[in-house]
């Protein structure tokens, strides 16, 4: 019996190991494992780890975070009081890309045991969200990501509401996202790390790490970001990894010779969202064609490196972010770059790939690529990694004013983003403001449950009535850049662009065509009107469009709606 007991003990899994470790990195566990481990870590490491529920999914599952600190700094209030850097690691935003969950549990255990990054948790509080998209995680199956090697079964990309969380950071439709934004702004991590797996071609590099500020963003953080990248990449290369500083997606997806572009996305994505808050937003993407063991190890090493650097330099990062926040409170009336794009300047790089054949398919008639992983080779391809500003806007002199009908919709969104605002209490008053009026261009179809639109134009001086209860969003606040992304109508992730106020761009009252025709003939008697009409007809596209011609006259009629195509909030010229 003793021998049998010893044999069973030897075969038992080590404490706090995951199903992934126990399977030799061929499987990943279900969410009940996350719940069990979240409860077990605090018992094994009392006073150093807590298990927190920070939200509930539409299917009623708890959203869990583990908080770890060697000196008991386990609440957001304590971290702020101690000026403690916080590092937040997030797995499973796309629940089929689940490397971050298993790497994170592995790393957390090793750090708490002192086997890696010893002493880091005395200087940094680590917040670990094993699975962000919990309902998607439990949509478990073998065929979820056909262009990914392992684990044997995994979760689904989107939520139970069919929303892609990594497109939801600004619009914040999903209850999961609202919970995450609340968690983020409560803890205010100096670095937010979003852990993914790529799709795409076959090549040798195993991980890409993209983040800002380093090429964009406030100068105090830029310099520190460049040093962070240099040190992290050197460490990963010594460990045998081939890290990339750009997302490895070909410019032409069926043509490896087209090379790569290293741009920077808008804040609908996790890394760009947190960078817009003057913090480090990091996207880690392991390569889908590596096996699961290789990918988890690359994620583990990357996160360990970031934790070590946060312990080493986190105090400097905090000081720089506070400097950037303070600077943003003083930018009213100045110009701020909000979006960047790759220029046409490129450099040729040696890229470790595989032999491939690109040929026309007899099935589809398209070109397709076949890779031979038995034949490594070096591709010489262009990399477009020079950035230039693509959208630069003038900051409002004072801020924005949002009347009650729209404030009821947008106030909760602003609050979850940590944007400061107040409400006016004075009865209806007529004030000088700036308004934005534009003919919308609606995008065809639906994207993430919204019909998006684009506007072109600029603010102009006007006078409007402001009822009591109007929101005043001051420009002088630390999250100025994020506020501009949300409230400036031309920005691709603004509330306007996402379609939250589409009703204001729909004509409700109208003039019958036969009455418009009669009105036009009456007006054309006036030589000034006739001259204006003749000038308009020189626009060939307009002249060939009968409906456009009718609209031109209908908008001159006294019955025309003066609020049609008017963005339903304003820029303030004086503080209310």
Nearest-angstrom CA–CA distance, 397 and 409: 24
Contact 258, 381 (CB under 8 A): yes
Q: What percent of the chain has pLDDT over 90?
A: 93
Band (15; pLDDT cuts 50, 70, 90): confident
Band (9; pLDDT cuts 50, 70, 90): very low
Tell me whether strands 471-474 and 422-423 are parallel, antiparallel or unpaired.
antiparallel
Contact 207, 285 (CB under 8 A): yes
Judged by DSSP in three states, 101 sits in helix
Nearest-angstrom CA–CA distance, 248 and 271: 16
Q: Using one digit for the tens of pLDDT, what is the confidence trace for 153-205?
A: 999 999 999 999 999 999 999 999 999 999 999 999 999 999 999 988 999 99
Tell me whether strands 399-402 and 570-572 are parallel, antiparallel or unpaired.
antiparallel
Q: Look at 114-123, 224-233, 284-293, 558-567 and tell me which has the smallest mean pLDDT.
A: 558-567
Band (13; pLDDT cuts 50, 70, 90): low
pTM of the shown model = 0.94
Band (4; pLDDT cuts 50, 70, 90): very low
For residue 541, list its beta bridge partners.
none
Q: Using one digit for the tens of pLDDT, what is the confidence trace for 385-420?
A: 999 999 999 999 999 999 999 999 999 999 999 999
pLDDT over threshold 50, residue 8? no
Residue 462 pLDDT:
97
pLDDT over threshold 70, residue 324? yes
Average pLDDT over the chain, rounded to whole? 95
- The average pLDDT across 455-479 equals 96
Nearest-angstrom CA–CA distance, 206 and 12: 32
The distance of Cα 244 from the centroid of its chain, to the nearest Å, equals 20
Band (225; pLDDT cuts 50, 70, 90): very high
Residue 551 pLDDT:
87
Band (511; pLDDT cuts 50, 70, 90): confident
Architecture label for domain 2-326: 3-Layer(aba) Sandwich (3.40)
Residue 11 pLDDT:
45
- The average pLDDT across 228-252 equals 97
Q: Look at 386-400, 479-493, 509-523 and tell me which has the smallest mean pLDDT.
A: 509-523
Q: Which ranges constitute the DSSP H helices of 82-174?
A: 99-112, 134-137
pLDDT over threshold 90, residue 461? yes
Contact 31, 131 (CB under 8 A): yes
Cα distance from N-terminal residue to C-terminal residue, the chain:
82
Nearest-angstrom CA–CA distance, 446 and 178: 22
Nearest-angstrom CA–CA distance, 69 and 48: 5
Q: Using one digit for the tens of pLDDT, what is the confidence trace for 426-457?
A: 887 899 999 999 999 999 999 999 999 999 99
Kindly list the domain boundaries of the chain, sorted by start residue: 2-326, 347-389, 395-507+564-572, 513-554
């Amino acid at each position: 019996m003793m021998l049998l007991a010893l044999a069973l003990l030897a075969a038992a899994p080590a404490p706090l190991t995951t199903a992934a470790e126990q399977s030799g990195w061929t499987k990943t566990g279900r969410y009940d494992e996350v719940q069990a481990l979240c409860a077990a870590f605090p018992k094994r490491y009392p006073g150093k780890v807590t298990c927190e529920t920070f939200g509930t999914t539409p299917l009623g599952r708890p959203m869990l975070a583990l908080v770890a600190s060697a000196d008991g700094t386990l609440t957001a209030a304590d971290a702020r009081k101690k000026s403690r850097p916080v590092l937040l690691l997030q797995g499973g935003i796309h629940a089929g890309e689940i490397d971050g969950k298993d790497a994170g549990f592995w790393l957390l255990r090793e750090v708490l045991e002192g086997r890696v990054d010893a002493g880091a948790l005395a200087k940094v509080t680590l917040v670990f969200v094993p699975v962000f998209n919990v309902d998607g995680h439990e949509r478990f199956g073998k065929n979820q990501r056909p262009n990914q090697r392992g684990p044997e079964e995994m979760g689904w990309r989107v939520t139970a509401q069919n929303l892609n969380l990594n497109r939801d950071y600004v619009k914040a439709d999903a209850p999961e996202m609202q919970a995450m934004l609340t968690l983020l702004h409560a803890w205010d991590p100096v670095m937010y790390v979003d852990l993914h797996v790529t799709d795409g071609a076959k090549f040798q590099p195993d991980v890409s790490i993209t983040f800002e500020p380093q090429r964009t963003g406030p100068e105090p953080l830029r310099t520190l970001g460049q040093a962070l990248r240099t040190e992290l990449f050197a460490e990963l290369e010594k460990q045998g990894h081939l890290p990339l500083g750009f997302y490895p997606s070909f410019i032409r997806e069926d043509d490896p010779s087209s090379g790569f572009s290293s741009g920077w996305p808008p804040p609908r994505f996790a890394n760009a969202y947190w960078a817009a808050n003057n913090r480090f937003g990091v996207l880690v993407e392991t390569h889908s064609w590596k096996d699961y063991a290789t990918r988890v190890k690359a994620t583990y090493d990357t996160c360990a490196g970031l934790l070590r650097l946060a312990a080493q330099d986190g105090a400097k990062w905090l000081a720089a972010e506070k400097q950037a926040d303070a600077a943003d409170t003083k930018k009213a009336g100045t110009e701020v770059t909000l979006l960047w794009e790759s220029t046409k300047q490129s450099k040729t790089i040696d890229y470790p790939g595989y032999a491939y054949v690109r040929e026309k398919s007899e099935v589809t008639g398209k070109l397709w690529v076949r890779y031979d992983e038995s034949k490594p080779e070096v591709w010489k391809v262009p990399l477009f990694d020079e950035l230039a500003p693509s959208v630069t806007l003038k900051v409002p002199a004072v801020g924005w004013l949002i009347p009650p009908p729209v404030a009821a919709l947008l106030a909760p969104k602003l609050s979850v983003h940590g944007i400061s605002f107040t409400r006016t209490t004075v009865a209806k008053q007529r004030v000088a403001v700036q308004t934005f009026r534009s003919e919308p261009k609606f995008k065809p179809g639906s994207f993430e449950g919204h019909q998006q639109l684009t506007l072109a134009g600029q603010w102009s001086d006007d006078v409007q009535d402001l009822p009591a209860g109007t929101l005043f969003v001051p420009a002088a606040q630390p999250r100025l850049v994020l506020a501009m992304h949300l409230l400036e109508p031309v920005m691709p992730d603004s509330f306007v662009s996402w379609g939250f106020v589409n009703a204001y761009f729909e004509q409700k009252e109208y003039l019958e065509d036969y009455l418009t025709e009669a009105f036009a003939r009456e007006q054309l008697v006036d030589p000034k009107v006739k001259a204006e009409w003749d000038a308009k007809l020189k626009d060939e596209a307009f002249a060939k469009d009968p409906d456009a011609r009718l609209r031109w006259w209908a908008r001159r009629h006294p019955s025309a709606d003066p609020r049609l195509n008017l963005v339903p909030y304003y820029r303030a010229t004086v503080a209310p």
